[in-house]
Amino acid sequence: MSSGPICATGRRKEAVSCVRLQAGTGKIKVNGKPIENYFTTEAIRGYINQPLSVTATAGTVDIEAKLKGGGLAGQAGALRFSIARALIKKDPSLRPVLKDSGMLTRDARVKERKKPGQPGARKRFQFSKR
């Protein structure tokens, strides 16, 4: 366990999250704002706090996050992933717990590209026989 702040990165869709984790009282700041102001829905906040609740470190660390790109859901996924990675850097014994709950797998699903000559990624123009 190191004494200074621990940094970790997480990605999801187009979103990138950089997290600084240090010993504290459980405050979470996202882009300089409290998490309640940045992520307004309780469901998304619960999703982000999963690594902390699973490892029982919820009130013991302060988290400062910088988020870029993507939408709210992608940013929440990136933040959750980076928090899990930072917790492992802080205490490697937490790895099996986080791995079993699926928080150390990067969700690689991204938007499919639009194909040339078609209106969308999968959509095709209507077929006309004559």
In the structure, what pLDDT confidence band is assigned to residue 2 with cuts at 50, 70 and 90? low
In the structure, what pLDDT confidence band is assigned to residue 130 with cuts at 50, 70 and 90? confident
- Which domains can be identified in the chain, with CATH numbers? 6-100 (3.30.230.10)
pLDDT tens readout for residues 15-38: 999 999 999 999 999 999 999 999
Amino acid at 82: S
In the structure, what pLDDT confidence band is assigned to residue 4 with cuts at 50, 70 and 90? confident
pTM, 2 dp: 0.89
Round to whole Å and give the CA distance between 51 and 28: 13
Give the lowest-confidence range in 2-11, 27-36, 47-56, 64-73.
Answer: 2-11
- 43 and 50 Cβ atoms separated by less than 8 Å: no
